[in-house]
Homo-oligomer: A and B are copies of this chain.
Amino acid sequence: MLYLYDGSLNVPEILKEWYEQEATSNYGAYIPFVGTVRSEDGIEGLSFDIYEPILNSWFAAWQERAKAKGAVIKMAHSKGDVMLHESSYIAAVFSPKRRVALEFIDEFVEDFKASAPIWKYDLKNGKRVYALDRSTAISGSGLLGVRK
């Protein structure tokens, strides 16, 4: 239920595929979150690195949390370059009930932003510049910097 793509996402196609995958699963609520590259600070686009082993285990833990509430999560993300007004991220929750789905998509997207091992770079003047100022240190960071 975790799909990584080279370059931008085909959003209509992915939203359709996921909807059809769960067409008879008897979920009452389907809430996708779609993230699209905004034009700001003169960037030409964004670029992403992903560390898949930890992304996979992070996602598997969330899938277990969803399952415990009778829900399912799906996620798609881009690797490499994604240009202005293209989309790089889709997360979706399917759930029997709307409250579970509404709360889950919020918690999932926020934890994704804080924890998923994905690094973002601005594409600017043809260069790839790490977006440190918009990035979040993973909880527990700094261990190796502590001096005895």
Contact = CB atoms under 8 A, between A and B. Distances in A.
B35 A28 contact: yes
A27 interface: yes
Contacts of A101: 33
Interface residues of A, number: 31
Contacts of A34: 19, 29-31
B24 A85 contact: yes
19 contacts: A11-B19, A15-B19, A15-B32, A16-B16, A19-B34, A23-B85, A26-B38, A26-B39, A27-B36, A28-B35, A30-B33, A30-B34, A31-B31, A31-B105, A32-B32, A35-B98, A98-B109, A102-B106, A102-B109
A11 B11 CA distance: 13
A83 B12 CA distance: 24
A7 interface: no
Contact of A32 (B23, B31, B113): B31
Is chain A's interface secondary structure helix, strand, loop, or mixed overall?
A: mixed
A135 to B, nearest CB: 15
A117 interface: no
A96 interface: yes
A127 to B, nearest CB: 22
A15 B19 CA distance: 11
